[in-house]
Amino acid sequence: MEELTLQEIQQGSFRVLLKFKEICETNNLRYLLAYGTLIGAIRHKGFIPWDDDIDVWMPRPDYEKFIQYCIDNEMGYFILKHYKTCKEYIYPIARLVDSRYKIEYTNAKEYGLGLFIDIYPLDGLKSECHRQSRKRRSYIRKISILCRNQYISSPNKLKNILKKIYYEFHKNKSLNKILSKSDKFAKKYKYNDYENIACTVWETTECFDKSDFASSVDVEFNGEIFKAPNGYDNLLKKTYGDYMKMPPECERIAHHFYRAYKK
């Protein structure tokens, strides 16, 4: 198999995004471009030139409806990767995948990934809730360990010993059950009940003001129109600072570290 170039990865991933958009529009589901994809839309009207993935947010109620749609409907070579649809899946977010491709990660367990988009559910975030924060970190820590083929060593000897012990203790536990429990806990904090929202199942939780998500605006991405949060400028500045400024050349690198192939 011949390895895909970055441009081919971007083109293939964009086709997955178009399928995702079609499903959302047909079923009246809310979605919003997220993270680097949102920066790309605003700053470049497309991909950040070196970016190798696509990210979207969905409010939890719409996310659950999207998951169920993918379970109930035949989508050809597009498939959903989620703990409900794939027992080997390793992440607490969903991915819509083009199965005509194969992706190989370094030190991540195999679950049949193709070119994909990341779909992040947004749940309520209770201000200064130590229980929510503590439980969330516990789930994320276990997931980050169990999704790998081996533990990631640390330069600190004591931390390295503790991480190895933690890995050995948890490595045989069911990741699928932990993903299910993490999701169930996140859903306790309902999107509609809180002023702050976040993707609380993911490793880094940026706290967003829900008023920045009160409505959507149209933005251009690769010549097509997609939805973005009405307060995108505010939330991007809060997360990234001066997001319109290009980073130094040494930082203009892809961050997923995978190889992609056409089957």
pLDDT of 168: 72
Cβ proximity of 35 and 199 under 8 Å: no
Lowest mean pLDDT among 35-49, 65-79, 133-147, 211-225: 133-147
How far the first Cα of the chain sits from its last, in Å, is 7
Average pLDDT, the chain: 91
Lowest mean pLDDT among 116-125, 146-155, 183-192, 195-204: 146-155
Query: Does the residue 132 lie in any domain?
Result: yes
Tokens of residue 238, six digits: 């809060």
Tokens of residue 85, six digits: 């649809």
Query: Does the residue 70 lie in any domain?
Result: yes
**Structural domain for 47, as ranges:** 6-262
What is the spatial distance between Cα 260 and Cα 252, in angstroms, rounded to a whole number? Answer: 20
Check whether 169 has a pLDDT greater than 80: no
Lowest mean pLDDT among 51-60, 165-174, 219-228: 165-174
Domain count of the chain? 1
pLDDT of 25: 98
Query: Does the residue 1 lie in any domain?
Result: no
Query: Does the residue 124 lie in any domain?
Result: yes
Query: Does the residue 122 lie in any domain?
Result: yes
CA separation (Å) from 127 to 27, 131, 139, 196, 200? 33, 11, 19, 8, 13
**Residue 57 bridge partners (DSSP):** 32, 120
pLDDT of 151: 60
Per-residue pLDDT tens over the stretch 46-98: 999 999 999 999 999 999 999 999 999 999 999 999 999 999 999 999 999 99
CA separation (Å) from 178 to 39, 87, 142, 222? 32, 12, 8, 37
Q: What pTM was estimated for this model as a whole?
A: 0.91
Query: Does the residue 146 lie in any domain?
Result: yes
